Structure 1
Amino acid sequence: MTDFYQDKKVLLAVTGGIAAYKAAEITRSLIKAGAAVRVVMTDAAQEFIPAKTLAILSKAAVLTDQSWQKASAAVDHVHLAQWADLIIVAPATANSLAKLSLGLADNALTTTVMASQAPKVAVPAMNNQMWENAAVQSNVQQLTTDGWTFVGPATGFLAEGYEGKGRMVEPAEILASVAEQLARSVDAVTATQSLAGKHVVVTAGGTKEAIDPVRYLTNRSSGKMGYALAEAALAAGAKVTLVAATDRPVSAGIKVIAASSTQEMLAAVVANMDHADVFIGAAAVSDFRVAEIADHKVKKQGDEHMVLDLVQNPDILKTVGQAKKPGQVVVGFAAETENLIPNARKKLQSKHADLIVANNVLDDKAGFNKDTNQVTLVANNHEPIAVEAKLKTELAEDIIAAVAALLTSGQVVV
């Protein structure tokens, strides 16, 4: 992200939702990253944050309906539209998404956005029930078809006072996701659609096994690798279903199924494998779960020890591997601390997989919650292929290339 915004001209379009107050932080962050920022905002947005605040931060006049309606500024929206290298609509309310998807130009913001040929990004923010509404999803799909990039929404605490999916992604994550997605989309223009017409199912994140209503067992996985694989598969032309135990921003073209526990994840995977061509098990799945989940918070009993009765979880990779159909490719991950290649080969055979992506989690450039990884690809009848340390987003492209080669030739090529 460091260089992505350098010398870019970014138009921040602010619509009228409670998350509009975060426009100040987005503006500051963009400028700090090297961008020149201009702002256009709706009347409703000004009820949450004054135009003067954003004018001071951006060091430029803010285009509003009031200023746009003046005769001397009647074509300001055209100049601003031509000036922009990138447009970010944040927050993007349900109402603004509807207008933009239908081509309605009834205020300074929608008119400016529609007059621009720059790449456009929407950062949705609304109540979870509004986000899930069929009309809103139809508008999102239309904008995606029109070339828009979506960041979020995230799952979190909503203005209504409860948890749900609809919260605007935090500014730092917006900038990182926009940079990552748009950089990838530029590469994808010239990339071969090696998975066009294929359906790829990916798992991501660390599963959570409840102990009681408050506590759970989990692991260190961030889900970064799984999400990167889903994005890379989408860029390669695949239909992508992501079964995720963690919530991160993702392209609107990816179908996301939330699955907290191992059993939930297995059910979602099995339900989608009938018509899938590829399974990539990148999730860090809990090997064990609590035998009986307490229906109330377990209190300390005065002694120093608490014993949990654990039972073995189903093996998702093995279940998929044993049930795979001719032509399907099954990919697993092996997070090891020793004997990397022997353990990966053993897993390849016992899980009936076609490819194992093995890494040593003790390596400085590999492991959980890092942006980089260093892996070795282990396949049947093939010498292991060591892949140098690189960003997980770049590594994901290598793995997807290997998957595409397995589908077409049965050989691993990176």
Structure 2
Amino acid sequence: MIHIAITAGGTEETIDGVRKITNMSSGSLSWFCLQAVLSYIDRHKIEAYTIHYIKAPRAVTNELNAEHASHINFIEVTNTQSVYNTVETLMSEVDVDIFIHAMAISDFSYAYSVAKSDLAEEIYQQITANKEISKKEIEASITNPKSKHSADAKISSSQEIVMGFETTPKVISLIKKIKPNTFLVGFKLVKHNKDNHMIKQAEKLRLANNCDAVFANEASQLSVKGHAGVLLYKGEPVARPIGKKEIAEAIVSLAFQKIN
């Protein structure tokens, strides 16, 4: 039995009862990866397989035939913590052969909001009461202000606000820690399209998370047909596909080549 995991779309971090922060990821590259996996499986007449497709709410999905659909385990996630929990459970319970981690994960999650004037007043009162107040005490007030809004209430638009964010757990670092033999593909989006810069940033990601392969691309080149970048295996460029379909095929071909 072959197990393949693919993450898709962009996570959503809740601010209040009606607002969320997300990103522009559609999950289309992940869907192309799913299609590339299914094409490979059909060509090689593989019958025993399961694809665990971990998808964010707005990740694109298309119709599948009944045979393919019966082999796909769709797992719905929302925020980064839900992705972390899902991946941790999956990797602990299943021997995943290939993990394509293409989801756009939020680096920060919402912690609180507070009216700017209320936070200023709170800190002012602290300083007035204690001229020797420490930097650590001020930081504590900024991190967890007493006057912050209720987590369940809608934030009023009548006042200017300050928002606090905290770092999210790193999902990609979980994968090889739990299953060192999984073939892990990471993705690195960079702002500068100079080749050496992309490769350098991809290598940082690989070394930090023990990725086997990394696809690096530049932020301005994300269209379906014009999407371009470099696929690296163990830090060395192995392909420079153009177009999301071609990128997915290059990734899937490399992954199956290395696990066989």
Deviations 1:303-334 (A, max 9, x none): 3xx21111111111111132223x31111100
Answer whether contact 1:234 1:240 (CA < 8 A) is retained.
Answer: no
Question: In the alignment, what sits opposite 1:249?
Answer: 62
Q: Tell which deviates more after alignment, 276-285 or 248-257.
A: 248-257
- Structure 2 counterpart SS, 1:394: helix
Q: 1:275 aligns with which of 90, 95, 104?
A: 95
Deviations 1:6-29 (A, max 9, x none): xxxxxxxxxxxxxxxxxxxxxxxx
Answer whether contact 1:224 1:371 (CA < 8 A) is retained.
Answer: no
CA pair 204-269 structure 1, distance change in 2 beyond 3 A: same
Answer whether contact 2:176 2:182 (CA < 8 A) is retained.
Answer: no
Answer whether contact 2:239 2:250 (CA < 8 A) is retained.
Answer: no
Amino acid at match of 1:398: A
TM-score normalized with structure 1 length = 0.47
Question: In the alignment, what sits opposite 2:233?
Answer: 379
Amino acid at match of 2:238: I
Answer whether contact 1:290 1:309 (CA < 8 A) is retained.
Answer: yes
1:355 and 1:388 map into 2 onto residues whose CA distance is 14
1:344 and 1:322 map into 2 onto residues whose CA distance is 19
Deviations 1:221-245 (A, max 9, x none): 0100111112222332242110000
Question: In the alignment, what sits opposite 2:248?
Answer: 396
Amino acid at match of 1:299: S
TM-score normalized with structure 2 length = 0.72
- Whichever of the two has the greater Rg, that structure is 1
Question: In the alignment, what sits opposite 1:333?
Answer: 187
Question: In the alignment, what sits opposite 1:161?
Answer: none
What is the Cα-based RMSD across aligned positions, in Å?
1.8
Amino acid at match of 1:269: V
Question: In the alignment, what sits opposite 2:51?
Answer: 240
Question: In the alignment, what sits opposite 1:68?
Answer: none
CA pair 234-272 structure 1, distance change in 2 beyond 3 A: farther
Q: 1:297 aligns with which of 148, 154, 157?
A: 154
CA pair 376-319 structure 1, distance change in 2 beyond 3 A: same
Give how far 1:266 is off: 1.6
Amino acid at match of 1:343: Q
Answer whether contact 1:348 1:379 (CA < 8 A) is retained.
Answer: no
- Structure 2 counterpart SS, 1:289: strand
1:203 and 1:349 map into 2 onto residues whose CA distance is 20
Deviations 1:314-358 (A, max 9, x none): 111111132223x31111100111221100001100111111111
**Residue 260 (1) aligns with residue 78 (2):** yes
CA pair 361-334 structure 1, distance change in 2 beyond 3 A: same
Answer whether contact 2:11 2:79 (CA < 8 A) is retained.
Answer: yes
- Structure 1 counterpart SS, 2:227: strand
Answer whether contact 1:286 1:313 (CA < 8 A) is retained.
Answer: yes
Give how far 1:396 is off: 1.1
Q: 2:206 aligns with which of 348, 356, 369?
A: 348
What is the aligned residue count?
Answer: 203
- Structure 1 counterpart SS, 2:75: strand
Instruction: Give the number of the structure with larger relative contact order, counting CA–CA contacts within 8 Å between residues 6 or more apart.
Output: 2
Q: In the TM superposition, what are the counterparts of 1:140-219 in structure 2 within 5 Å?
A: 197-219=1-23
Q: In the TM superposition, what are the counterparts of 1:54-93 in structure 2 within 5 Å?
A: none
CA pair 257-372 structure 1, distance change in 2 beyond 3 A: farther
CA pair 203-250 structure 1, distance change in 2 beyond 3 A: farther
* Structure 1 gaps, min length 5: 1-196, 409-414
Answer whether contact 1:357 1:377 (CA < 8 A) is retained.
Answer: yes
* Structure 2 gaps, min length 5: 42-48, 113-149
